Structure 1
Amino acid sequence: MGPQPGQKTVLITGCTPGGIGHALCLEFHAKGVHVIATARNPAVLSEMADLGMTTLALDVTNSESIKTCHDQVSQLTGGKLDILVNNAGRTHTHPATDIDLDDVRETFETNVFGVMAMCASFSDLLISAKGLIINIASLAAITPYAFGSVYCASKGAVTSYSRTLRLELKPFGVRVMVAMTGTVRSQIASKTHRTLPENSIYQRVKEIFEKRLTFSQNNATVKTEDYAKKLVAKALQGESPLILRAWFGRPDWLWAGGWAGKVWLATWFGEWILDFALYRLIGLNKLEMVLREEERQKKLK
């Protein structure tokens, strides 16, 4: 079933049940928007299809998959797309000194290049609708999220890319919103298979690394549906003058999720405050104590 005449449309990437994309689908649907839900395996979206949403296969790391999805959406909507939500993402928790570059490339393929490819491919449909792009970024883009240097770098790339994209698409009437997402209940951190190499310099505090694997799910974590309600409400608001957008219209930057407000406030005081807080919150100060004790023991021998 396609959209009704005059009905707004939204395409969301990464809609597997249990994650942010799935919650966004349900919330946009509840607000009367025709949802085009996508996943690598569309069979997992059967519940959403039963609700009347369109479900399509999409792998944001595969150019042919993106092209096929674009053509299907264009045919479905008559060549327009009101909202594109780039939500598909991949977590990456490893110390910077322990990274495997092939693994890093996979993360950037999904988190960065996939976003770029989707925006480029669907730009014609968005221009036709004078639509909205929502790129799901993270507080990790501006915080020293220890053991997450790769993930931080990928989300930092998305924020910088989005800021320039916003200016480039402004003449065509297309808006770009960046969701600076804090801790939200999701499946992104549910896979705790990452381990420290045996020769890692962080083996001394292995328990800190293991705790960090699920940090986002255990620290001021916001319910997925609450995050979705806030994002969708802002996405569907009318336009306001630039200076008023953050409060009354569709904002350029949406701060939502656990810690979002605190991190936003901290940015006004300089990066030192986030460095100080994250260093202790993650537990790296304990590593300092371990290293000092090791030095002390060496001197005693």
Structure 2
Amino acid sequence: MGPQPGQKTVLITGCTPGGIGHALAIEFHAKGLHVIATARNPAVLSEMAALSMTTLALDVTKADSIKTCHDEVSKLTGGKLDILVNNAGRTHTHPATDIDMADVRETFETNVFGVMAMCAGFADLLIAARGLIINIASLAAITPYVFGSVYCATKAAVAAYSRTLRLELKPFGVRVMVAMTGTVRSQIASKVHRTLPEGSLYQRVRGLFERRLTFSQNTATVDTKEYARKLVGKALAPEWPLLFRAWFGRPDWLWAGGMAGRTWWATWFGEWLLDFVLYRMIGMPELERVLREEERQKLLK
């Protein structure tokens, strides 16, 4: 079943149950929008289909998949799309000196190039509706998230891309919101993680790295539904002049999730503060102590 006459539509990427995309789909649906939920395997979206949402297959790293999805959405909506939420992504926790470039490219394909391809591919439908693009970024875009250099780079790229996209699409009446997302409950802790290679510099503090793998699920973590309520509420807020958007209307930048508010305030003091806090929060002084002890042992020999 498609949207009813006059009903607004929202397409969300990466709607597998247990994640942010799924929670956003449920919340937009509750607010009366017709939700187009997507995933690489649409079979996992049966619950949403039962709620009369449209469910479609979509792999944001494949041009033909994006084109097929675009054509199906265009037919369904009469050539318009009110909101596009680019949520699909993958985590990438690994020391910068241990990365595998094929793995890095795969992360960029999903987190960065997939976002770019979706915005370009659906621009015509968004322009027709004078719609809204919501790109799910992360606090990692501006914080030195230790052992997350690749992930940080992808989210920083999304934030920078979105700023320019906002100006380019403004004349066409399309708005761009960037969600600077903090720690949010998800299934990330249950996924298979990368491991340290045998010769890693960080084998000395292997436990530190392993704790970091689930850091986002154990540090000021916000419930996924709570995050979704905040994002959807702001996405559907009325338009306000530029100077007042952040407080009253639909913001250009939405800071939500665990530690988001504190991180926003920290940016006013300069990057040194975030460097200082994250270095200690992750536990890097432990590595300093280990290295000092290694040097001491060498001197004793």
Which TM-score band applies after superposition, normalised by the shorter structure?
over 0.9
In the TM superposition, what whole-angstrom CA distance separates every residue of 1:215-269 from its partner, at most 9, and x where no partner exists?
0000000000000000000000110000000011110000000000000000000
Q: Is the 8 A contact 1:192 1:213 kept in 2?
A: no
Unaligned 5+ segments in structure 2 are none
Are 1:174 and 2:174 counterparts? yes
Quick one: distance in 1 between partners of 2:33 and 2:170?
24
Are 1:136 and 2:131 counterparts? no
Q: Is the 8 A contact 1:127 1:172 kept in 2?
A: yes
Quick one: distance in 2 between partners of 1:180 and 1:17?
21
Alignment of 1:260-271 (within 5 A): 260-271=260-271
Quick one: distance in 2 between partners of 1:285 and 1:85?
39
Quick one: distance in 2 between partners of 1:127 and 1:109?
25
CA apart distance, 1:193 = 2.7
The answer for the alignment partner of 2:244 in structure 1 is 244
Quick one: distance in 1 between partners of 2:103 and 2:190?
18
Alignment of 1:180-191 (within 5 A): 180-191=180-191
The answer for the alignment partner of 1:298 in structure 2 is 298
Q: Is the 8 A contact 1:15 1:38 kept in 2?
A: yes
Quick one: distance in 2 between partners of 1:260 and 1:157?
19
Quick one: distance in 2 between partners of 1:190 and 1:274?
28
SS at match of 1:251: coil
In the TM superposition, what whole-angstrom CA distance separates every residue of 1:189-232 from its partner, at most 9, and x where no partner exists?
43243100000000000000000000000000000000000000
Are 1:289 and 2:289 counterparts? yes
Given residue 146 of structure 2, which amino acid in structure 1 is its aligned partner? A
Alignment of 1:1-301 (within 5 A): 1-301=1-301
Quick one: distance in 2 between partners of 1:30 and 1:77?
19
Q: Is the 8 A contact 2:11 2:37 kept in 1?
A: yes
Q: TM-score, normalised by structure 2?
A: 0.99
Given residue 118 of structure 1, which amino acid in structure 2 is its aligned partner? M
Given residue 16 of structure 1, which amino acid in structure 2 is its aligned partner? T
Taking only the aligned residue pairs, the percentage that are identical comes to: 83
Quick one: distance in 2 between partners of 1:299 and 1:67?
64
Quick one: distance in 2 between partners of 1:257 and 1:229?
11
Quick one: distance in 1 between partners of 2:212 and 2:16?
24
Quick one: distance in 2 between partners of 1:222 and 1:192?
22
Given residue 76 of structure 2, which amino acid in structure 1 is its aligned partner? L
Q: Is the 8 A contact 1:192 1:214 kept in 2?
A: no
Distance 1:189 1:112, change over 3 A: farther
- The runs of at least 4 aligned residues of structure 1 exceeding 6 Å deviation read none
SS at match of 1:49: helix
Quick one: distance in 2 between partners of 1:151 and 1:189?
16
Given residue 282 of structure 2, which amino acid in structure 1 is its aligned partner? I
SS at match of 2:269: coil
Aligned length: 301
Unaligned 5+ segments in structure 1 are none
Of stretches 273-282 and 184-193 in structure 1, the one that deviates more from structure 2 is: 184-193
SS at match of 1:133: strand
Distance 1:189 1:162, change over 3 A: farther
Given residue 103 of structure 2, which amino acid in structure 1 is its aligned partner? D
SS at match of 1:267: helix
SS at match of 2:219: coil
Quick one: distance in 1 between partners of 2:189 and 2:62?
23
CA apart distance, 1:187 = 1.8
Q: TM-score, normalised by structure 1?
A: 0.99
Quick one: distance in 1 between partners of 2:89 and 2:103?
14
SS at match of 1:35: strand
Given residue 257 of structure 2, which amino acid in structure 1 is its aligned partner? G
In the TM superposition, what whole-angstrom CA distance separates every residue of 1:9-47 from its partner, at most 9, and x where no partner exists?
000000000000000000000000000000000000000
Structural RMSD (CA): 0.5
CA apart distance, 1:113 = 0.2
SS at match of 2:188: coil
